[in-house]
Structure 1
Amino acid sequence: MVSVSDSWEAPAPALSVRQVLALERVLAGEPEVVAGEHRLDRPVRWVHVAEAADVGVMLSGGEMVLTTGVLLAGDEEKQAEYVRSLHRADAAAVVLGLGRAFPSPPDAMRRVAERCGLPLVVLHRPFPFAQLTEEVQSRLVRRKFAAVSLSESVRTELTALITAGAPLQRLLDEIARHSGCPVVVTNLAHRVLGTAGERPAVDDVLRDWDRIARQAGRTEGDGWIRAELGGRGERWGRLVLCGYRGDTATGRLLADRAAEALVLHRMLVGGAACSWEEQSAQSLLTDLISGVLPARQLLPRARAAGLPVNRRTFVPLVVRGRSAARLDRVLRLLGLPGLTGELADGASAVLLSLARDQDPQALTAHFAARLRAEPGPEPVVVAAADARTVFDDVPAGLREARHVADAAAGSAPALDLPPVVRLRDVHLRGLIRLLRDDPQVQSFAERELDGLLSEPDEDLLSVLRTYLATGRNKSRTAQLHHVSRPALYRRLEAIQARLGVDLDDFEQAASVHIALLAHDAQHQ
């Protein structure tokens, strides 16, 4: 197997303006930052020497521009336009050598640079620009080569692991080792399918995952780098590097190579995205029931896996006679939030998460009755512990349920077990719940509600939810939200503007309603 040495370190970040100014050759020129000091961490993509006032047309962004200002002396408008041209071209900084044209920093350039936020640096001693150009270019080339070398090394190693039949977690561990930061794989609804990295750092990421995942899914910054997972024109998940400390270009290369490996792994093992969800749930339930970690340390993983955890009633179950996959299918059919996973002794664990106003005993009984109606080679034994309202009590409940299942399996006939849950609504809401983890449904919901989800406004979402649930009854919606009709109209206008739809049009309103039901189902 081809491997990368454990002593390997990621390439240093791309040179920033601040780092260039700290180079020994540059320090010899006695640099002084006279404007834009707050932007010194901008990355430098290249170094360019230019004197013309319209220099911006020759740039593509990220350049540090060096000039003596010989063509700008005596003309403040040219000096100002020079800086504005660099700003429009998104230059990283401008370095002006004093002496030949300017004995001191020109006020016109300094004022415009400060206003534009463009770092303006002056060199107080004569300095050969060729030395600086050579120094920076060579460093940048070395970093680019290191990034490409890293990319190919990672691709080779991950491919070797896949060929050897390594599980998903092994691939994620290698990706995290190379990136030096937590790695998270999610489906399109932001539910976590797998994680890797140092456990405290991963837990910090997962603690507020719902919020930060949506932000990371739209913009990259502060080391958050994402890569889409999918093939044949269909996306089904995302890989996110959380807090990558190298430069963004290298991080994107690494994320792309990792994403290619994950897609290849899925193709070769013949699984689907939901199988990764099953593995994630199984790992979490196994850790809960074994007690290897305190429950509160596993709480971020449970929340990120899609299990509602705030103000919930938890029902720990252990089932014999049906596979975890079948249990999961029944949970989806009934629209019950929960996790299922195979245990080492052939039983399956189920953890239901119910709203506080739901009856845990009645729901558990109906769930068991539905299982008994499923054809199978052996009788079903469902064991339940008392409902828990504190997540810390869940491990003890799961161990209690397993003990009861072991005892009941050899004595109690399956048909004598009480029914557990009742069927939920099987109309549109029930159908959406059934399809909520389908990648196409996830994409549809994200696309239709993007205007409200990109900048979440719970008040507008609540009004939209009520308005559609009441059959677009404005009077009833205003009454339920305790607002006047004019105030409701303003909210509805804001909703329509952000979504780009006409809610008076039945088809558009139905489309938004279905998307909202799918969104709610994914987050319950």
Structure 2
Amino acid sequence: MNDNHPAGHGPTRALTVADVLALPVLAAGQPQVVTGMAHLERPVGWVHITELTDPASFLKGGELVLTTGMPLPDDVPGVRRYVDELADVGAAALVIELVRRYHRPPDALVDACRLRGLPLVTLAKDVNFLEVTQVVHALLLGNQADAMRRTQRIHEAFTALTLRGAGPEDVVRAAAEMSGRTVVLENLVHQALICEPSGGTLEEALTGWEQRSRATGADDHTATCGPAGWLTAPVEYQGERWGRVVMLPARADGPAFGPEEITVLERTAMALTVARLIHSTPWERTAHRNALRDLVDQRHRSAEDAHARCAALGLPTDRSRFVATLVDLRAGRGGTDTETRLLQELRTAGVSALVGELAPGRLGILLALRPSQPWRPIVERLCSTALGLAPQAVVSVGSEITELSDTARSFREAARVAEATPPGQPLPPDRSFHELSDIGLARLLYALREDTRIQEYAEQQLGRLIDHDTQHGTDLLTTLRHYLDAAGNKTTAARRGGLSRETMYQRLRTIERLLDRDLESGEQRTELHAALMALDVLRAH
């Protein structure tokens, strides 16, 4: 049987007319396709040998009909009726042997088959029809057995996913891998929440998603829908529908979905229902989180993929202004409630955004702004909500960007602002959030406090003075601080330290000797001032 298997085809798809004609047992008859060349990919479900004038009465559709031509009617109307009955019942093709009655196909037969689009194949040499049926039926039965085994593996795979509590992303990914097709989970308003492309890109799968999805229509069961031929299945539980899962055709002119793809999609819908019941996080929130993390970590294959994915989630990517905002809760708790409230606040204000947890205790918000829409009042509104729920929270903002591909930079700037904001840092007088312009030297040093180079610098600059104070009970470090804070004005420094001018001069000479520094040098005073600020940061935190 293996020798007669169509070259290049495994048992993973239906046997076609072209496959059968390529079998050695039939190729020996020198088959010639007379009509229906465009229909040779029709699946063959069985082979039927007939010498009857009305063979269609014994057919169910999908049969390859073999005949010697002996029963073919002599009159043209009879030939047309013969072909019409075969075409009406859905025969896959008609194969006629040109050995006994005919040596060329009758014109009436050719014309009738061409008119009905029925493939007509002639055999120039004698072929053992019984052997043809044995070989083809063995292949068909083998395909059926393989299909049953693959179906069993599909059920086992999804059962394993369900038993281990797989999330919706794992379920959709498994469906795409098993089917070799792009699979998408969407919600009730036609937003694509999860997409696993197969053999293509996110851009190809998701561009214009909402419009395409709405054009597909809806169905209450697994079905092929719409002009694009999507295979869809509802995701629901006890009458409550949450969305649907979609399997896209391999290509516009690709083969239709078979029983295996239908099985995969039905099991996907079931597994997604279970995942929804056991995982409390709403799909939309997870989708926002994943989309934000992919933007921040720059995990998209292209800018076009990023645009298509965010647009399919409802973010208007055609707008030219975006702002990244971080809400650092500091306590590491309350992220879920705050995330929900912030999203509700934005929806109430009619502001488009992605909101999601980027890390424990840190929420990310990407605002999509209309051309004339100011972002500061929106962020202030978010601050009011966030600080009302978590008073210790720090809200930081990156710079405004005009390209979605710059999202990572804007979030990186917001993160640097957050890292440079110590606990209890006073808010600016005119707003409730922090931005890049707020970072001075002290806050920069705070952000770098764990860098050993900063620690080494502070010790190298001030270590000898600190050691002297420790050993002799002096407080020269405080004297130096007053002097540097007074920008080198000895009189002001003496007054702040409660010292006489002579005592101040004496202490400053001692400091210069211990540190080997010239305190009259503006550059050296700056170096010492930076070291003193670094020491304060290190001691405080």
- TM-score above 0.5, yes or no: yes
Other structure's SS at 1:363 match:
helix
Report deviation, 1:42. Answer: 1.8
- For 1:281, the equivalent position in structure 2 comes to 288
2: CA distance, partners of 1:243 / 1:409:
54
2: CA distance, partners of 1:270 / 1:332:
24
Other structure's SS at 1:166 match:
coil
- For 1:340, the equivalent position in structure 2 comes to 355
User: What's the CA shift string for 1:34-79, capped at 9, x where partnerless?
Assistant: 1111111122233233454554454443332223333323122121
2: CA distance, partners of 1:148 / 1:17:
23
- For 1:253, the equivalent position in structure 2 comes to 263
- For 2:367, the equivalent position in structure 1 comes to 352
Structure 2 counterpart of 1:333, one-letter code: T
TM-score by length of 1: 0.69
1: CA distance, partners of 2:432 / 2:89:
69
1: CA distance, partners of 2:417 / 2:120:
74
Report deviation, 1:222. Answer: 8.9
Other structure's SS at 2:264 match:
helix
Contact 1:379 / 1:413 at 8 angstroms: preserved in 2?
no
2: CA distance, partners of 1:189 / 1:19:
44
Q: Following superposition of structure 1 onto structure 2, how do residues 63-74 of structure 1 map, counting pairs within 5 Å?
A: 63-74=63-74
Residues 413/49 of structure 1: CA separation in 2 closer, same or farther (3 Å cut)? farther
Structure 2 counterpart of 1:330, one-letter code: E
Q: Following superposition of structure 1 onto structure 2, how do residues 237-316 of structure 1 map, counting pairs within 5 Å?
A: 237-243=243-249, 248-267=258-277, 269-271=278-280, 275-293=282-300, 296=303, 297-316=305-324
Contact 1:336 / 1:352 at 8 angstroms: preserved in 2?
yes
- For 2:402, the equivalent position in structure 1 comes to 389
2: CA distance, partners of 1:369 / 1:385:
18
Residues 111/390 of structure 1: CA separation in 2 closer, same or farther (3 Å cut)? same
2:89 counterpart of 1:89:
yes
Contact 1:220 / 1:226 at 8 angstroms: preserved in 2?
no
Contact 2:342 / 2:385 at 8 angstroms: preserved in 1?
no
2: CA distance, partners of 1:405 / 1:141:
66
Report deviation, 1:153. Answer: 1.3
Q: Alignment RMSD, CA only?
A: 3.2
Residues 10/194 of structure 1: CA separation in 2 closer, same or farther (3 Å cut)? farther
Contact 1:182 / 1:195 at 8 angstroms: preserved in 2?
yes
Structure 2 counterpart of 1:289, one-letter code: V
Q: Following superposition of structure 1 onto structure 2, how do residues 393-404 of structure 1 map, counting pairs within 5 Å?
A: 393-404=406-417
Structure 2 counterpart of 1:143, one-letter code: N
**Higher relative contact order (Cα pairs below 8 Å, separated by 6+ residues):** 1
- For 2:423, the equivalent position in structure 1 comes to 410
Contact 2:216 / 2:228 at 8 angstroms: preserved in 1?
no
Tell me the matched-pair count.
407
Other structure's SS at 1:226 match:
strand
- For 2:516, the equivalent position in structure 1 comes to none
Contact 1:33 / 1:121 at 8 angstroms: preserved in 2?
yes
2: CA distance, partners of 1:69 / 1:231:
57
- For 1:139, the equivalent position in structure 2 comes to 139
User: What's the CA shift string for 1:410-431, capped at 9, x where partnerless?
Assistant: 34567977489xxxxxxxxxxx
- For 2:49, the equivalent position in structure 1 comes to 49
2:104 counterpart of 1:104:
yes
2:245 counterpart of 1:232:
no
2: CA distance, partners of 1:10 / 1:316:
51
User: What's the CA shift string for 1:260-310, capped at 9, x where partnerless?
Assistant: 22222223x1437xx222222212211222345576153332223332212
2:84 counterpart of 1:77:
no
Residues 69/279 of structure 1: CA separation in 2 closer, same or farther (3 Å cut)? same
- For 2:439, the equivalent position in structure 1 comes to none
1: CA distance, partners of 2:372 / 2:75:
76
Structure 1 counterpart of 2:92, one-letter code: A
2: CA distance, partners of 1:157 / 1:10:
22
Residues 351/75 of structure 1: CA separation in 2 closer, same or farther (3 Å cut)? same
Residues 43/414 of structure 1: CA separation in 2 closer, same or farther (3 Å cut)? farther
2:186 counterpart of 1:186:
yes
2: CA distance, partners of 1:310 / 1:167:
31
Q: Following superposition of structure 1 onto structure 2, how do residues 405-444 of structure 1 map, counting pairs within 5 Å?
A: 405-408=418-421, 410-412=423-425, 418=431
2: CA distance, partners of 1:170 / 1:193:
13
Please list every run of 5 or more consecutive structure 2 residues that lacks an aligned counterpart in the other structure. Answer: 1-8, 218-223, 330-334, 434-541
Contact 2:197 / 2:205 at 8 angstroms: preserved in 1?
no
Residues 131/230 of structure 1: CA separation in 2 closer, same or farther (3 Å cut)? farther
User: What's the CA shift string for 1:352-399, capped at 9, x where partnerless?
Assistant: 223324333343434444555xx5253554322233221121111112
Report deviation, 1:347. Answer: 0.9
User: What's the CA shift string for 1:212-242, capped at 9, x where partnerless?
Assistant: 5456666389995433322323432222334
Report deviation, 1:175. Answer: 2.6
Residues 42/282 of structure 1: CA separation in 2 closer, same or farther (3 Å cut)? same
Which of these two proteins has the greater Rg computed from alpha carbons?
2
Contact 1:33 / 1:120 at 8 angstroms: preserved in 2?
yes
Please list every run of 5 or more consecutive structure 1 residues that lacks an aligned counterpart in the other structure. Answer: 1-8, 421-524
2:340 counterpart of 1:325:
yes
2: CA distance, partners of 1:150 / 1:417:
66
Structure 1 counterpart of 2:38, one-letter code: H
Residues 93/279 of structure 1: CA separation in 2 closer, same or farther (3 Å cut)? same
Structure 2 counterpart of 1:141, one-letter code: L
Report deviation, 1:83. Answer: 1.4
Other structure's SS at 1:403 match:
helix
Contact 2:399 / 2:413 at 8 angstroms: preserved in 1?
no
TM-score by length of 2: 0.67
1: CA distance, partners of 2:47 / 2:196:
38
Report deviation, 1:24. Answer: 1.2
Contact 2:53 / 2:73 at 8 angstroms: preserved in 1?
no
Other structure's SS at 1:132 match:
helix
Residues 185/78 of structure 1: CA separation in 2 closer, same or farther (3 Å cut)? same
- For 1:464, the equivalent position in structure 2 comes to none
Structure 2 counterpart of 1:250, one-letter code: E
Contact 2:39 / 2:117 at 8 angstroms: preserved in 1?
yes
Residues 72/353 of structure 1: CA separation in 2 closer, same or farther (3 Å cut)? same
- For 1:19, the equivalent position in structure 2 comes to 19
1: CA distance, partners of 2:361 / 2:430:
20
